[in-house]
Amino acid sequence: MATIDNARSRYSRVAIGLHWLIGLAVIANICLAMLTEGLPRDAHRAAMNAHKALGMAILALTLIRILWRLVNKAPPPPETMRAWERRASRFAHFLFYVLLILLPLSGWVWMSAADRPIDFFGLFAIPSIVGPDKQVADVLHERHEMLGLTMLALVVLHIAAALKHQFIDRDRLLSRMNPF
Convert the pLDDT of each residue in 6-21 to its tens digit.
456 899 999 999 999 9
Distance CA 72, CA 1 (A): 29
Convert the pLDDT of each residue in 127-166 to its tens digit.
999 999 999 999 999 999 999 999 999 999 999 999 999 9
The whole-model pTM stands at: 0.93
**Domain ranges across the chain:** 9-176
Distance CA 131, CA 84 (A): 45
Q: Quick one: pLDDT at residue 7?
A: 52
Q: What superfamily does domain 9-176 belong to in CATH?
A: Transmembrane di-heme cytochromes, Chain C (1.20.950.20)
* Cα separations in angstroms, 28 against 32, 53, 90, 155: 6, 12, 25, 12
Q: Quick one: pLDDT at residue 172?
A: 85
Q: Identify the weakest region by mean pLDDT among 2-16, 84-98, 109-123, 126-140.
A: 2-16
